[in-house]
Structure 1
Amino acid sequence: MLKGAIARRYAEAIFELARKQSTLDRTLEDVKEIAALFAHRKLAYLLREPKISVKRKETAIRQALASRVLPTSLNLALLIVQRELVDYMQNIATELENLVLDYRNQAVAEVITAAPLDEKQQALVKKALERSTGKNIVMQTRVDPSILGGIVARVGDQVIDSSVRYRLAALQQNLLTKVSSATTDFFSEELDALSNNGYTAASDVTQPTQAQV
């Protein structure tokens, strides 16, 4: 929880700066690049090693990024290193992307299909998702033959599953439920038939009293 709050605070700061400077797209690209760089095994070791001086770490960051990112993005990277928040960088990148998407009323949709979609099909899916979410959809498509057919779409925490695999699973569950219900009904009918023919359950048989013997 604390990690998320800290990451969001830094993301909000760089977002506001980028918005004022009209550099949202470039800043988002920079921050993603910084997050990827910080995850690189050799550099990650250098940045996390407490025995290595902050100055040496800053030099490594400047050499890697100075010619590739905006000055404000470089300053963010240096600040993260100085405050020993390297492990937060990926979260900051994710939070920044969410802020940019919200600012533009956009949402990323991961669309999974059993076979590749052509341009017309992609346009139809995009339009349907925009109508469902009320946001401008940025589609990311992926092929997964295991869903058999149909579409699975993930937009944030929302999952829309209309795959053949899901429908088959739902049908199987429905059939199992029906079979269970039918079995119960069958035995109920059998018990009714026994009662109607003069048979009584053992627990219902009245034991003779001493007076009746």
Structure 2
Amino acid sequence: MAELTTIARPYAKAAFLFARDNSALAEWEKMLGVAAAVAEDPAMRAWLQQPQLSAGQRAEAFADVCGDALDEGGRNFVAQLAEHGRLPLLPAVFELFHALVAAEQAVVDVELISAHALEEAEVERLVASLKQRLGREVRTTSKVDERLIGGVLIRAGDTVIDGSVRGRLARLAEQLNS
């Protein structure tokens, strides 16, 4: 995984700089999202691995599948990736691009996982607390996982805050066993 990220990083940075310089971050994020989804498709992956295809054929077919989601810049980007045999890296490129956009906009994506659906007031309190703690704007997505029993598990990038009952019980059991 680290190797893929290392290889994908220069492509993501180039796309980011181009998009930022052309005031098109949102458009490029959308284009790369579509291209990443196409690249993850098992049928597309299998098709791209055919050795008899030229880089131009791969790029053209890939761009055709993406359709109108790619503008001329997006098609050129896909062509460059195809030329260097890097089309399978598009999901990693998209993730890195998204992280660069979030850093540029001082935004952090936070996943809230709870045992039951959170009420709007609960989400607002958590967002306010996270804004203060992280020093950034916060975008949230919520997910329900009944296995947590109660409480909330918060994931913000590499930071995980486990306020779930299951997590607390696990920490208590660990302390008792020590």
For normalisation by structure 2, the TM-score amounts to 0.91
Larger Rg: 1
Cα distance in 2 for partners of 1:50, 1:91 equals 23
Q: Is the 8 A contact 1:147 1:164 kept in 2?
A: yes
Cα distance in 1 for partners of 2:126, 2:76 equals 40
Cα distance in 2 for partners of 1:105, 1:164 equals 31
- Map of 1:111 onto structure 2: 112
Q: Percent identity?
A: 25
- Map of 1:30 onto structure 2: 31
- Map of 2:15 onto structure 1: 14
Please, which runs of 5 or more residues in structure 1 have no aligned partner?
A: 178-213
The alignment partner of 2:68 has SS state of coil
Cα distance in 2 for partners of 1:117, 1:68 equals 34
- Map of 1:89 onto structure 2: 90
How many residue pairs get matched?
177
Whether 2:79 is the aligned partner of 1:72: answer: no
Cα distance in 2 for partners of 1:139, 1:39 equals 24
Question: Alpha-carbon deviations, 1:20-78, whole Å to 9, x = none?
Answer: 11110110111011011012222222222111233332331232234222221121112
Question: Alpha-carbon deviations, 1:107-165, whole Å to 9, x = none?
Answer: 11111111001111111111111111111111111101111111110111111011111
Please, which runs of 5 or more residues in structure 2 have no aligned partner?
A: none
Cα distance in 1 for partners of 2:50, 2:97 equals 27
Of structures 1 and 2, the one scoring higher in RCO (CA 8 A, sep 6+) is: 2
Q: Is the 8 A contact 2:25 2:101 kept in 1?
A: yes
RMSD over aligned Cα atoms: 1.6
Q: Which moved more, 1:35-44 or 1:57-66?
A: 57-66
Q: Is the 8 A contact 2:45 2:88 kept in 1?
A: no
Cα distance in 2 for partners of 1:158, 1:99 equals 17
The alignment partner of 1:140 has SS state of strand
Taking the TM superposition and a 5 Å limit, the aligned residue runs for 1:141-180 are 141-177=142-178
Cα distance in 2 for partners of 1:56, 1:107 equals 38
The alignment partner of 1:67 has SS state of helix
Shift of 1:81: 1.1
Cα distance in 2 for partners of 1:25, 1:163 equals 35
Q: 1:70 to 1:59 in 2, by over 3 A?
A: closer
- Map of 1:41 onto structure 2: 42
Question: Alpha-carbon deviations, 1:190-213, whole Å to 9, x = none?
Answer: xxxxxxxxxxxxxxxxxxxxxxxx
